[in-house]
Structure 1
Amino acid sequence: MNLKGKTILITGGASGIGLESAKQFLALGANVIITGRNKEKLDQAKKLYPQLTAIQNDVSNPDDALKLYHIAESLGGIDILYNNAGVSNPTNNLAKANDKITEMAAYEMDINYISVVRLNNLFLKMLQNRPEAAIINTTSILSYVPSNLAPTYSATKAALRFYTASLRNHLEVAKSNIKVFELLPPLVATEMAKGIDAKTITPETLVKALLDGIQKNKFTIRVGDTKVVYFLSRFFPKTAYKLINPVKNSIKLSA
């Protein structure tokens, strides 16, 4: 897929993976729109990269999502929708009673899964009217093997992985021009990873792999340790589970 001249909308684009993506897409000659809830971060991103269009928006809010669609429409439409926004709550110890577990689970599921489905449905017709279009969904290494420290986050990413595969197949059967890419990162050195004692990769490395995959029409883009965990989860599931959930994490849960 040729990215030069394409207009891409990146949710959660004001920091971390989203901002690095904006930077690298711009370098390839794409037009980039970023969204996020934090106006201060959006303003900082705009200062760093004046070519950006920055829109304050909460994609988990149905009214905001519709508003975002109309803004994109007024700007001439988009060619690529990159569903990058995501959240993860601190350790959920399911063995201990916690009144907030249900509330936190609903919050994660809404942003990480429901919001993606909502945006895709809103933008589907617009994307179908472009000569070449794409949807990018970010799942996770944890969509193959869950983390005991992030059970709901893992579940949301597994749900999104299945949805992404189904969406791709539906569009292929319909002979649509929309390509559906899935990015499966390992742990990335962003704010979300702070405090996690595990190996990380940089956002720059992740996004380079993403762009390389898109340009080569590689629809499932596994990066770094995700490749290893994918293989192990298929043939040695117990080994994969221990790799994602080392003994030190079990100690944290029992503390």
Structure 2
Amino acid sequence: MILKEKTILITGGASGIGMEAARQFLEIGAKVIITGRNEEKLNAVKKLYPQLITIKSDAGNESDAIALFNQVKALGGIDILYNNAGVGVAPLNLGIPNDKHLEGAIYEMEVNYLGIIRLNNLFMEMLQSRRESAIVNTTSILSIVPSLLEATYSASKTALSFYTKSLRKHLEIINSRVKVFELLPPLVATEMTVARNDKKISTEELVKALILGLEKDQYTIRVGDTKLVYILNRFFPKLTFGLINPKKANQYLNHN
């Protein structure tokens, strides 16, 4: 896929992976639009990269999604929709009755899964009209093996992974030109993971792998430890589950 001169919409682009993606896409000659919920963060990114177009929008909000579509359409449309925005709630022991389980799960599913389907539906006709276009959905290493500490987050990413594979096949059946990519990051060094001491990769490394995968039309882009986990889980699922969920996870749940 040729990325130069493409117009790319990145949700959750005001920090972390999204901001780094915006930087690298700009470097290769793409036009970039980013969204985010925090206007101050959007303004700060705009100061760093004046070429960016920024739009305040909540990825999990229906009215925001419709308004976003209308604004993007007025700007001339996009070639690539990069569904990067994602949320996670604090770890909860699902074995102990707690209303927060459901609240957290609804929040994660609304942003990480349902909000992406909503945006894809809104932008599909626009993307279909382009000579070469794509949807990029960010799932996770946890869509392969679930985390005990991020159970409902893992579930939301697994739902998105299955949807992504099905969407790709559906578009192939109707001879659509829209390409569907799945990005599966391992643990990435962002604000969301700052308190964790586990092995992490940088946002720069992740986005480099994403761009290489897009350019090669590699529809499933596994990065870093995700490659190893994918292979190990096929042959040694119990071992792989233990690697994702070391004893310290059990200790945390026992004390909370």
- TM-score tier by shorter-chain length is over 0.9
The structural deviation recorded for 1:100 is 1.2
Taking the aligned partners of 1:253 and 1:97, their CA distance within structure 2 comes to: 13
The structural deviation recorded for 1:178 is 0.4
Structure 1 window deviating more from structure 2 (207-216 vs 54-63): it is 54-63
Q: Which amino acid is 1:235 matched to?
A: F
- Structural mapping, 1:204-243, within 5 Å: 204-243=204-243
Where does the alignment leave 5 or more consecutive residues of structure 1 unmatched? none
Residue in 2 that maps onto 1:124: 124
**Count of equivalent residues:** 255
Taking the aligned partners of 1:247 and 1:152, their CA distance within structure 2 comes to: 20
Give per-residue Cα distances to partners, 1:194-222, cap 9 Å, x unaligned: 22231000000000000000000000000
Q: Which amino acid is 1:253 matched to?
A: L
- Structural mapping, 1:183-222, within 5 Å: 183-222=183-222
The structural deviation recorded for 1:59 is 2.1
Q: Which amino acid is 1:78 matched to?
A: I
Q: Which amino acid is 1:222 matched to?
A: R
The structural deviation recorded for 1:92 is 1.4
Residue in 2 that maps onto 1:59: 59
Residue in 1 that maps onto 2:42: 42
Is 2:179 aligned against 1:179? yes
Q: Which amino acid is 2:139 matched to?
A: T
The structural deviation recorded for 1:97 is 2.1
Residue in 2 that maps onto 1:135: 135
- Structural mapping, 1:92-131, within 5 Å: 92-131=92-131
Taking the aligned partners of 2:48 and 2:88, their CA distance within structure 1 comes to: 27
Residue in 2 that maps onto 1:84: 84
Taking the aligned partners of 2:22 and 2:12, their CA distance within structure 1 comes to: 10
Residue in 2 that maps onto 1:248: 248
Give per-residue Cα distances to partners, 1:213-238, cap 9 Å, x unaligned: 00000000000000011011111100
Return the TM-score normalized by structure 2.
Answer: 0.99
Taking the aligned partners of 2:197 and 2:94, their CA distance within structure 1 comes to: 21
Give per-residue Cα distances to partners, 1:66-85, cap 9 Å, x unaligned: 11001000000000000000
Q: Which amino acid is 1:2 matched to?
A: I
Taking the aligned partners of 2:92 and 2:220, their CA distance within structure 1 comes to: 29
Taking the aligned partners of 2:66 and 2:95, their CA distance within structure 1 comes to: 39
**4+ residue stretches of structure 1 with deviation over 2 A?**
none
Taking the aligned partners of 1:154 and 1:114, their CA distance within structure 2 comes to: 15
Q: Which amino acid is 1:149 matched to?
A: L
Q: Which amino acid is 1:48 matched to?
A: L
The structural deviation recorded for 1:191 is 1.0
Is 2:73 aligned against 1:73? yes
Give per-residue Cα distances to partners, 1:11-68, cap 9 Å, x unaligned: 0000000000000000010000000000010000000000000000112111110110
Determine helix, strand or coil for the equivalent of 1:100.
Answer: helix
Structure 1 window deviating more from structure 2 (17-26 vs 191-200): it is 191-200
Q: Which amino acid is 2:91 matched to?
A: T
Taking the aligned partners of 1:12 and 1:182, their CA distance within structure 2 comes to: 17
The percent identity for this pair of structures is 62
